[in-house]
Structure 1
């Protein structure tokens, strides 16, 4: 594993660092840090304008091939871009699901017509996307999807009925990609299709879900006779499971690895708080926990880079070798421990909000939001089963156990 950067990589790092410093020192400076985890409700319109500013200067979809409007950056340059973006404390994007999930999926599985219709609008941040995967009875067990879709008699449209839940950003998105069962009587992975459905129609109801952090980035989405054109199915009808899993493969990697920069900033803030409270001198056990967290974060980043290096070397074995699952397990549990240590540093004051409203500070929000880290994006139990069954070859877990 060679993690050294070339001269071209270093020049690129200087370029993006300089551009971000210049832009965020001007009119956009007030947006620094807005929209992070548990704060997706903040300044949506302003962050959308910032994302479109990025697009106008060619800084969206940087990893996409140039023929689809991207910069065609290497994997390492994508890591550099994400790290510098996080290091600049730039506002969190509103286009993540379109740019990093659906866009690459359409490039890999979509028709030329679908690519021409949707990719330019994702690139320009003109259309935002939500992810319609989880359901009340199909969260970690995604193959249990019950949302159904059928073709109209004339074959011109899909009619969708069902419910999705934990649908990020559906309340301000224009489109949602949906896993639906399109073959009556099918079970588990068979008979599912990957559909592109407009949200602005009478057959769709979006209900925000208020979280412990006070925000509502997640939603319930109800489809009651919602429709979409027949040609807006990605891949073959009934073969959507492969497309859905292909999309999840894009979820791991570059953007997740760049989170370690944000985590380092959070850790530094907790350490500064501990110094302010004189906890480093008076509580040696707490000091040791903070030291452990700092060392572990470096190990996590090295683990993430190692997983990406196999892909960069042409060995796309992150799924088969379990690198993606291992990385998810370690960063999610590390982040939860950081939130717990933050509360330990705050002591009793961590139990109180500021002012009359439910106004959380950064450490309270860190603690509450990180409770979900081991659930969303594939729960700990699912990741361990993947490693046990697909990597180690152990017997499958009995269903219903």
Structure 2
């Protein structure tokens, strides 16, 4: 099937539009904040749960994943159409989380058939939550210095150590984790294991952040257990898998959906809070110019993503260009947050109380929380190092993940 238009894609768009019209409950249309709510402690109920179940059964939450594991089995062009039609109808993708954006794509590439059959379908249906066990108190940017130990205990792996900044660990069912299985080597002594979070040997302590929430955690493993078939890839072969997963993570962070509710929303909010002139434009020339610049940059970012996907048709795996897009998306997202706070004025600085709407309270928390985007998932400086080395071919003067 052709990637750029044609009768077949037009027919598929009609099919996708009809299915969404029939299956997206009217009550959830336009609720753009729902995805953010359900990314945390809240679990969908009512029509939101119904929408999640329908998308899980259809497989369109992960549209390009193989049908053999419950995915949509669609082409990249068809997946773009599904996303466009979801946006058009005012819905959101209810199948989300690290299982979708990071672990699932990695397991599809490196996992055994048994591991795929066991773990991919629950991710497709949104039934289980995953968290990432990478960073440690003494191993952040230099991730290969990690010390969490994994020992062969005969019929299982025994794990002891500490991870930090474990996003969503307090809600997670499973953790994909980098562990040390050979202390005599650095990169070549790391393995990739899957750990059931519902066991006595796992303790999670949420870390309260400036934005008022606690998505990050300290995670402690004390004789935690992983089954022998919960190691992905070969013993001491986890560094390669771990790096590939980071590419998937950065590819997700560089996606246009991370920039928030969209460039049009910023302009509409500005008109509502600031007012309009006699031509229907934002009634502040300087703000109008900066909103327009943000819209241009956000649009250029989205088009660049589409171009990169088209150019990578022969290679489905993420590349070093994900570092470029991660930094670009971070800048656009932070610009959007700054604009929203300015547009809302004192209403954008509320912390609690009936004087502020839910969207106003979300704006200030998003503005504060968004400052971390330049750090997690690989800091902006680390991404610049990757770009300079792997894309520009400059001399390697610093270590990078």
Q: Which position in structure 1 is the counterpart of 2:163? A: 164
User: What value does the CA root-mean-square deviation take over the aligned residues?
Assistant: 3.1
Q: Which position in structure 2 is the counterpart of 1:178? A: 177
Q: Which position in structure 1 is the counterpart of 2:201? A: 203
Q: Which position in structure 2 is the counterpart of 1:374? A: 374
> How far is the alpha carbon of 1:120 from its aligned partner?
2.6
TM-score (ref. length: structure 2): 0.86
> Secondary structure at 2:212's aligned position in 1?
coil
> How far is the alpha carbon of 1:381 from its aligned partner?
0.7
> How far is the alpha carbon of 1:97 from its aligned partner?
1.7
Alignment of 1:262-281 (within 5 A): 262-276=261-275
- Residue 17 (str. 1) matches residue 8 (str. 2): no
Q: 1:35 to 1:184 in 2, by over 3 A?
A: farther
* Cα shift readout 1:155-186 (whole Å, capped 9, x = no counterpart): 21111111222222222221111011111232
Alignment of 1:144-155 (within 5 A): 144-152=145-153, 155=154
Q: Which position in structure 1 is the counterpart of 2:138? A: 137
- Residue 305 (str. 1) matches residue 306 (str. 2): yes
Q: 1:177 to 1:269 in 2, by over 3 A?
A: farther
* Cα shift readout 1:11-41 (whole Å, capped 9, x = no counterpart): 3333333433443334x52893344448733
| CA distance, structure 2, for counterparts of residue 353 and residue 222 of structure 1 | 32
| CA distance, structure 2, for counterparts of residue 249 and residue 148 of structure 1 | 24
> Secondary structure at 2:291's aligned position in 1?
helix
> How far is the alpha carbon of 1:345 from its aligned partner?
2.0
Q: Bigger CA drift: 231-240 or 371-380? A: 371-380
Alignment of 1:95-110 (within 5 A): 95-110=96-111
TM-score (ref. length: structure 1): 0.86
| CA distance, structure 2, for counterparts of residue 340 and residue 288 of structure 1 | 14
Alignment of 1:1-400 (within 5 A): 4-26=4-26, 29=28, 32-37=31-36, 40-41=39-40, 43-46=42-45, 50-91=51-92, 93=94, 95-152=96-153, 155-187=154-186, 189-253=187-251, 256-259=254-257, 262-276=261-275, 283-312=284-313, 314-315=314-315, 319=319, 322-355=320-353, 361-398=361-398
> Secondary structure at 2:176's aligned position in 1?
strand
> Secondary structure at 2:68's aligned position in 1?
helix
Q: 1:366 to 1:272 in 2, by over 3 A?
A: farther
* Cα shift readout 1:279-334 (whole Å, capped 9, x = no counterpart): 9665322221111111111111111111111112x156862xx4212111112101
| CA distance, structure 2, for counterparts of residue 256 and residue 20 of structure 1 | 26
Q: 1:318 to 1:70 in 2, by over 3 A?
A: closer
> How far is the alpha carbon of 1:55 from its aligned partner?
1.5
> Secondary structure at 2:213's aligned position in 1?
coil
* Cα shift readout 1:74-101 (whole Å, capped 9, x = no counterpart): 1122222233334444356364322332
Q: 1:136 to 1:345 in 2, by over 3 A?
A: same
* Cα shift readout 1:353-372 (whole Å, capped 9, x = no counterpart): 34179975243233223212
